[in-house]
Structure 1
């Protein structure tokens, strides 16, 4: 099934509010820029007709919290599934993190965790002995530079990272496509994990945080260079995340007994995300 162009509008039209409305209604869609226009794509002509009718009634979205009277509530479950199908990489990454969290019981199953950490380890008594990364790679364990992003230690750790990946990942997948989000996720995971290994040494670390800071940096600078509705973050989000990064770097979180933070992974992810955001933003601005 080929996507259908539901709307073709000038680049000067701000679609942010209307896109937010479609997201609230669970309507699968993406926005692209072609020949000096912004094009809103949907899966089929039936969705296209509904979107055109909706845009005719609510071109500026909805200021309040109520849905349009014509929104069919009975179809909400189907719309949600359609929305997830339109974001396969976002859904797949979240599903994988949930599966690993449950299978490892949030990091307590060290035997399973040892297969997903950056470097393999063995537990002997009260100590963990780490094997050289080169030995693991030579044995064909090519997934290790990427797989720590799937490991989470605690329900709160998983919940916060999953919510942020959904918020940031779907923006990139909706704007730049599934393959781009997959490539960026693997790149950010590789760089952030490598940074943590280089600056923190062999250790048991994991989580999507490094990837999230990469996605944040990408959306932030892409939006600054080539503004578009998909990458526009709520006010204060970037500042809040940067302040949290500084708090973690200060060592305060560890001093308060909340565990050690993989700060090098956060910084590495943010830096590589800023690089891809600048490159992507410059390319998008040139295409315009």
Structure 2
């Protein structure tokens, strides 16, 4: 908002009383000294109101006789309160933390093999993968989604957990716990399968594919059916998309960040954009009805 000079007064004029009145009213303002004058600056959209106010109360309101409503301060919800409204988000993060503990953040291969996309056997220094069809035939269908709970290192878990807490709560507050869990499982399934198809039989894991799904869902949903919950700061969206491009270029792996599950990221983002498209169109039609 552009500020304008609403008053220009000699330095001898006592403006302190009027400034205190503006402070009580929580009116944005500032006072500067220019060419031997004191200048009062306020936002352009309220300049005329401030000018009229000065004409009526040049000395301010020293006895505080004006009834000025006190603005309500919005208190940030406590962490416990946030948890009560984000049970699904908290559940996924708790499971990720527990898996991180029992797998020693990827170091305990004997335990981790029960959650990976492909089962495997460690023979000496080599890992021999079991075909996916064999695991599914044995009823191990959970493997399609459980890699999202595996993390390799504390930084990997912390960063993914932070972003899931931020994005997951948005969707859960708008679409409910069941929809968040359903979307999380869907994004995990698609991103894991994409990584398997394009990356081959390797060890991979983490919530990052799911995170790009949540990002795409919020992004497209917000475009089609604007709402406060999905309104992401533009910088966040740009940063995550730029990071995706850097990972795809191979630069991130070259500077020592290890192998990146690029197919999982892209697969998650695409299916997230699709669910955001369908959800946004449905919600817009529902509001128009």
Q: TM-score with structure 1 length normalisation?
A: 0.73
Note the C-alpha offset of 1:241. Answer: 0.5
Post-superposition CA distance 1:128-178 (Å, at most 9, x none):
110011111111111000000000001110010000000000000000000
Q: What SS does the corresponding residue of 1:122 show, helix, strand or coil?
A: strand
Distance 2:271 2:278 in 1: 11
Partner of 2:209: 210
- Correspondence for 1:111: 110
Post-superposition CA distance 1:161-217 (Å, at most 9, x none): 000000000000000000100100000000000000001001100000000000000
In the other structure, the counterpart of 1:35 is none
CA distance in 2, matches of 1:283, 1:214: 18
- Structure 2 CA distance for aligned equivalents of residues 274 and 154 of structure 1: 29
Aligned to 1:140: 139
Instruction: Please say if 1:219 is aligned against 2:218.
Output: yes
Which ranges in structure 2 are unaligned for 5 or more consecutive residues? 1-69
Distance of 1:87 and 1:236 partners within structure 2: 24
In structure 1, the residue corresponding to 2:142 is in which secondary structure?
Answer: coil
Q: Secondary structure at the match of 2:203?
A: coil
Compute the RMSD of aligned alpha carbons.
1.5
The count of corresponding residues between Structure 1 and Structure 2 is 218
Q: How does 1:132-281 map to 2 (within 5 A)?
A: 132-281=131-280
Paired position in structure 2 for 1:52 = none
Q: CA deviation at 1:57?
A: 4.3
For residues 57 and 186 of structure 1, the distance between their equivalents in structure 2, rounded to whole angstroms, comes to 43
> Counterpart of 2:127 in 1: which secondary structure?
strand
3-state secondary structure, aligned to 1:143: helix
SS of aligned partner of 1:236:
helix
Alpha-carbon distance in structure 1 between the residues aligned to 2:84 and 2:147: 25
Paired residues for 1:49-68 under 5 Å? 57-58=71-72
Structure 1 residue 83: Cα displacement: 2.5
248-257 vs 275-284, which deviates more? 248-257
Q: Distance in 1 between matches of 2:265 and 2:132?
A: 21
CA distance in 2, matches of 1:116, 1:176: 28
**Equivalence map 1:1-150=2 (5 Å):** 57-58=71-72, 79-150=78-149
Larger Rg: 2
Which of the pair has the greater relative contact order for Cα pairs under 8 Å at 6+ separation?
Answer: 1
SS of residue in 1 equivalent to 2:105: coil
Q: Name the counterpart of 1:34.
A: none
The secondary structure found in structure 1 opposite 2:144 is coil
Segments of 4+ moved more than 6 angstroms: none
Q: C-alpha separation between the residues in 1 aligned to 2:71 and 2:86?
A: 27
